[in-house]
């Protein structure tokens, strides 16, 4: 089946009891057994839930993967991946990444003895030099957040050949419509389904997709033991969001391109970071691994002061100033004081994240209204 058909049908059969075409919200904590241990595949809802099952199958199908596992949030999914490792294990990680991921790695897992190397994963030879016999995972986020660099998933995945290393990709920014990391050699895909997969800013949710049966078993064991599972209503909302993922991503990308090109010609704007530009440093990689270039972009202003950024941010009327991304509505954010405030300023500047940087999650409104709003906010 092709992508759009999978988005609407994968994992979802009409309800066998009633014929309901939409997967019901199985709001139950337990399931009846006819004799001890004799049941219909469901025992207790931390372990299994039919609404969650349908969603797991659908997300796995969209990622061209074998197994999906859904979580209470993107961070619960990341947490589950980090728990695969033992004290002394080393992890190489994108240096420009989601602030919450940086926080859980440095403030939680470092104290359990895991060692993290944050580096620029676009420099493949530098990454190769960091690999030791203790390296167990390379964590990729691409496009990166918020500098919009693009990491070559295939080239990074080639580095693990013959070694006991897993490659994990946080695919939140691109969504499986734009790129499918497992097909490029990655072992684990992680999502904050709160963003594009859910798509309507009404749910917090996370997911993991893998091909390997044993890896699924280890992750499912972690999940069932630690308990970071999503509720059935949240699973239903993400399942509904997925049905329009393909058309939303097309429009996010079209609008993203229009806003990026508009900003590039604006006299007050210094730099615009969007992987679809031919002069973007990673454009060739983006062209190779991304179907379209998405609705995420960021820009800096010639007046590189926090004051100027705040002035512009307070003026938006159609764009809303808020954390998060990937919903149908357009959002703007100030990474230095919002999403990336938990990363020290020196670390932020190392990856190019200046004080005036504004991140934009371009929604699917009318592009003309969005450009008019940019115009008045910058003007």
Ligand X SMILES: *Cc1c(COP(=O)(O)O)cnc(C)c1O
Tally Cβ neighbours within 10 Å of residue 215: 18
Q: Identify residues 310-369 at the interface with ligand X (CB under 6 A).
A: none
Other CB atoms within 10 Å distance of the CB of residue 166: 21
Active-site residue flag, 46: yes
Binding of ligand X by 231 (CB under 6 A): no
For residue 195, indicate whether it is catalytic.
yes
| Residue count, binding to ligand X (CB under 6 A) | 16
Does 206 contact ligand X by CB under 6 A? yes
Closer residue to ligand X in complex, CB, 174/374 = 174
The verdict on 99 binding ligand X (CB under 6 A) reads no
Binding flags for ligand X, 103-142, as an x/- string (CB under 6 A): --------------------------------------x-
Q: Which strands make up the sheet holding 67-71, listed edge to edge?
A: 67-71, 206-210, 188-192, 166-170, 135-141, 90-94, 115-119
> Helix crossing, 50-62 with 232-242: angle to 10°?
30
145 binds ligand X (CB under 6 A): yes
Beta bridge partners of 361: 296, 331
Residue with tokens 């939409």: 22
**Catalytic residue selected from 79, 152, 170, 282:** 170
- 201: contact with ligand X by CB under 6 A: no
- Residue from 26, 98, 109, 177 carrying the catalytic annotation: 98
Q: Are 81 and 116 in contact (CB under 8 A)?
A: no
Shortest distance in whole angstroms from residue 371 CB to ligand X: 25
Beta strands in the chain (DSSP E): 67-71, 90-94, 115-119, 135-141, 166-170, 188-192, 206-210, 269-273, 296-301, 320-321, 331-333, 358-361
Task: Mark whether 315 is an active-site residue.
Answer: no
Quote the least distance from Cβ 268 to ligand X, whole Å.
27
Is residue 73 at the binding interface for ligand X, with CB under 6 A as the rule? yes
Tell me if residue 287 is catalytic.
Answer: no
Q: Which tokens hold the place of 364?
A: 């699917």
CB of 324 to ligand X, least distance (A): 7
Does 192 bind ligand X (CB under 6 A)? Our answer is yes
Q: For ligand X, which residue has the nearest CB?
A: 74
Residue matched to tokens 């730099």: 271
Tell me which residue has tokens 């371009």.
Answer: 362
Among 195, 248, 280, 354, interactor with ligand X by CB under 6 A: 195
Closest CA to 230 of 359, 111, 365, 69: 69
Interface residue with ligand X among 23, 106, 122, 172 (CB under 6 A) is 172
Residues marked as catalytic? 46, 98, 170, 195
The contact set with ligand X (CB under 6 A) reads 73-75, 98, 100-101, 141, 145, 170, 172-173, 192, 194-195, 204, 206
């Amino acid at each position: 089946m092709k992508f759009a058909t999978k988005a609407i049908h994968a994992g979802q059969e009409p309800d066998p009891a009633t014929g309901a075409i939409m997967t019901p919200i199985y709001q139950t904590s337990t399931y009846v057994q006819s004799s001890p241990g004799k049941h219909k595949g469901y025992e207790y809802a931390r372990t299994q839930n039919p609404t969650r099952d349908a969603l797991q199958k659908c997300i796995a199908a969209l990622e061209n993967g074998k197994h999906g596992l859904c979580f209470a949030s993107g961070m619960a999914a990341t947490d589950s991946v980090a728990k695969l490792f033992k004290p002394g294990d080393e992890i190489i990680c994108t240096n420009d990444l989601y602030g919450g991921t940086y926080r859980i790695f440095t403030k939680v897992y470092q104290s359990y003895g895991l060692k993290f190397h944050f580096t620029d994963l676009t420099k493949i030879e530098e990454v190769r030099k960091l690999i030791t016999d203790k390296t167990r995972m390379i964590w990729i986020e691409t496009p990166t957040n918020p500098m919009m660099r693009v990491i070559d998933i295939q080239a990074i995945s080639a580095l693990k050949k013959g070694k006991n290393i897993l490659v994990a990709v946080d695919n939140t920014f691109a969504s499986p419509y734009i790129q499918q990391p497992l097909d490029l050699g990655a072992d684990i895909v992680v999502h904050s389904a709160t963003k594009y997969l859910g798509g309507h800013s009404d749910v917090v949710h996370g997911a993991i997709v893998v091909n390997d049966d044993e890896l699924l078993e280890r992750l499912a064991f972690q999940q069932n033991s630690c308990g970071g599972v999503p509720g059935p209503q949240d699973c239903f909302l993400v399942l509904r969001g997925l049905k329009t993922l393909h058309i939303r991503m097309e429009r996010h990308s079209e609008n993203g391109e229009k806003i990026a090109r508009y900003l590039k010609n604006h006299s007050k704007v210094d730099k615009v970071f969007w992987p679809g530009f031919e002069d973007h440093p990673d454009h060739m990689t983006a062209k190779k691994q991304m179907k379209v270039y998405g609705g995420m972009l960021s820009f800096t202003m010639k007046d590189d002061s926090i004051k100027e950024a705040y002035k512009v941010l307070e003026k938006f009327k159609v764009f809303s100033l808020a954390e998060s991304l990937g919903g149908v509505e357009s959002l703007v954010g100030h990474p230095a004081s919002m999403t990336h405030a938990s990363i020290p300023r020196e670390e932020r500047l190392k990856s190019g994240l200046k004080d005036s940087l504004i991140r934009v999650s371009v929604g699917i409104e009318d592009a003309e209204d969005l450009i008019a709003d940019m115009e008045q906010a910058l003007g």
